[in-house]
Amino acid sequence: MRCPACRNVIHEGDAACTACGFTLAALDPHLGIPPQLTPPVVDMAQVLSSSARRTLVEATRRAEQHFPDLHAVVITATVPANFSPELYAFWLFNRTGLFSEVEKGGDNHGVLLLLDTQAARCAVMIGYGLEPLMTTLALETSLTAATPYLMKQNYASAGLAFFREFERQLELASESWPKTFGYSETTPWFDSSTGSLLASAQSAGEDLY
């Protein structure tokens, strides 16, 4: 991931950003006691109508149905003064109980969309489990899709546009996942009990399912 303060690359397990020294704990004195939030839609800014909330809930559910490992959340909020949406989203992602105790590190496939209702800005935070799969450009493209609607205070459409583009970007990214993770359909298979070479699924032409 990238540091939400300086955008330098940081890695899971780093105690602090190696470039600027930023830590999550440094935000706590400025933001107070974290609220306990309940996904998938949290209207901290109190701007959503019942129909808008339903639309956003449906958008998160569709994304999760399309990609079952996802845990999608939308938050509307007024970002505190002197904080960027990225910093505030980072704090909310990690401090507010949105994700279970088992969703840690590489097992966290969360995606949090923060809609700043006062400044018409948005930010996205994703869990470590998604970071190898989504580029910074893919995330920025998803946010760009939402921004025109956010500027018109159409929060439901902003969320819809974001998740539609986010899903599209995941679909595009999935085409390169076999290569990314070293899978090749032409790689020979071996019988672990004998060590003998087996025909590949591709050459045998068999349906494994």
**CB contact set of 15 (below 8 Å; sequence gap of 6+):** 23
User: Which pair of structure tokens corresponds to residue 174?
Assistant: 């999935």
Average pLDDT of span 65-89: 95
150 in Cβ contact with 120 (< 8 Å): yes
65 in Cβ contact with 73 (< 8 Å): no
Burial class (CB in 10 A: 0-12, 13-18, 19+), 124: buried
Closest CA to 76 of 136, 164, 162: 162
Average pLDDT of span 164-171: 96
For the ranges 72-76, 107-111, 180-184, the one whose mean pLDDT is highest: 72-76
Q: Count CB neighbours of 137 within 10 A.
A: 9
4 in Cβ contact with 90 (< 8 Å): yes
pTM assigned to the model: 0.81
User: What distance in Å separates the CA atoms of residue 88 and residue 91, rounded to the nearest whole number?
Assistant: 5
Q: pLDDT confidence of 184, banded at 50, 70, 90?
A: low
Amino acid at 44: M
